[in-house]
Amino acid sequence: MGYVVVIIVLLLIIISGIKIIPQSKAYVVERLGAYHRTMQTGLHYVIPFIERVANNVSLKEIVKDFAPQPVITKDNVTMQIDTVVYFQITDPKLYSYGVENPINAIENLTATTLRNIIGELELDETLTSRDVINTKMRSILDEATDPWGIKVNRVEVKNILPPRDIQEAMEKQMRAERERREAILRAEGEKKAAILIAEGEKESTILRADAHKEAEIRKAEGEAQAIIKIQEATAQGLKLIKDAKADDAVLKLKSYEAMVDVANGNATKIIVPSELQGLVTAGTVIAETLKDKKD
C-alpha cells in the first residue's frame, strides 16, 4: 500500500512539471536559481525541484496611461501633461533581469524625459508641437528601455493643461481672433455686395443707353422711310399728270392751289409768280373774300 502512495506522489510530481505555453506568452525558467531558458508557445517540461518558472511574460503590446506630470516651460509656465506609452516586451530574459519593476521605471523615465523636452520649449511651442514632443519622447524612451528588453512603439501626449489664468487669456485671444475674422468676412461680404450693385447699375445704364439709341435709330429710320414714301407719292403724281398730258393752264391752277394751302387762309396778300399773272385778278378776289370772312 505504501508503494502505491509513493508511486502516486511521484506521478503527481512528474505531471506537475508539464507546462503548456499559450500564444503570446513566454516563460522564463531558472535552474537552481540561475537563468536557464525561455519557453515559447507549445508543450514544455520543467524538472520539479530543480527548475522553476521565474516569470510569466506577455508578448502583447501594452498600453500605459500615466498620471499628469507637472512640467515647466522655457518661459516659466507650469502646466500638467499626461502621456500614453505603447510598448512591447521583445526579450523576456532582459525584461525579467534588466530592471526592478519595469513599468514603474518606464513611468519615471517618461516623466523626466517629458520635463527635459518641455523645458526647451515655450508655452506656444508646447501647445502646437505635439508631434515633435511625441517623436522625441519615443526615440529617447526606446533607446533607454532597450537594455530592459522593451520596445517603445509610440508615445502620445494626451492632455496639456496650462494654468487657469493662462487658459482664460488664451480663450480671450481666441475670441478676439474669431471676432477679427468675423469682421473681415463681413467687410469682404459688404465689399462684394457693393461691387455687384455697382456692376448692376452699370449694366442697367448701358442697357438703357442702348435702348434709347435703338429707339432713336428706329425713329430716324421711320422718318426717312416716310420722306421716301412722300417723295415717291409726289413723283407718282407728277408722272400721272404728265401721262395725262395736262396743259399749262391746269399746271398753273395746281400751283395756285398749292399757294392757297401755304397761306392756310390767314394771309391777306399772296405774291403770285410771273407764270400765274393771268390769274392775278382771280387770286386777289379770293384773298379779299377770305379776309372779309375772317373779319
Distances (CA, A) of 133 to 63, 108, 253: 18, 17, 119
Residue ranges of the chain that CATH labels 3.30.479.30? 61-162
Residue range 62-79, pLDDT digits in tens: 999 888 888 888 888 888
Give the Cα separation of 217 and 209 in Å (integer).
12
- The predicted model gives 124-132 an average pLDDT of 85
Residue 85 pLDDT more than 90? yes
Strands 78-89 vs 150-161: parallel, antiparallel or unpaired: antiparallel
Residue range 158-176, pLDDT digits in tens: 888 887 877 777 777 778 8
Considering only CA atoms, which of 20, 99, 26 is closest in space to residue 59?
Answer: 26
Q: What is the rounded average pLDDT for all residues in the chain? A: 81
Class at the top of the CATH hierarchy for domain 61-162: alpha beta
Residues 6+ apart with CB under 8 A from 155: 83, 84, 85, 86, 110, 134, 137, 138, 141
On whether the CB atoms of residues 150 and 106 are closer than 8 A, the answer is: yes
